[in-house]
């Protein structure tokens, strides 16, 4: 029984080492971060959204037409 446990532990350690050294080296910056769209903050409600989906007026960004029409929100944020 002791020999069986020894071989199971040895095989498990070998598999663990093989997986550890076989794993590819991670790049410094993932492709997801490179493709991420720039985010802007809605001047009315403060929600963040991609710049290509936001509406702009006088260098301020808005998340919807209704917030664009209402203008900037309160400054207590």
For residue range 36-75, what is the model confidence (pLDDT) as tens digits? 789 999 999 999 999 999 998 888 999 999 999 998 876 5
Alpha carbon distances (Å) from 39 to 32, 62, 72, 73: 14, 12, 18, 19
Give domain limits for the chain: 1-23+38-70
Nearest one of 33, 25, 57 to 43, comparing CA atoms:
57
Q: How confident is the model at residue 32 (pLDDT cuts 50, 70, 90)?
A: low
Q: What is the pLDDT of residue 47?
A: 93
Q: Is the pTM of this model over 0.85?
A: no
């Amino acid at each position: 029984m002791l020999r069986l446990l020894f071989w199971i532990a040895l095989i498990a350690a070998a598999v663990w080492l093989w997986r550890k050294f076989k794993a590819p080296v991670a790049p410094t910056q993932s492709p997801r971060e490179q493709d991420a769209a720039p985010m802007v903050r809605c001047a009315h409600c403060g929600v963040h959204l991609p710049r290509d989906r936001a509406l702009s007026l006088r260098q301020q960004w808005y998340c919807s037409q209704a917030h664009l029409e209402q203008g900037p929100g309160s400054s207590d944020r």
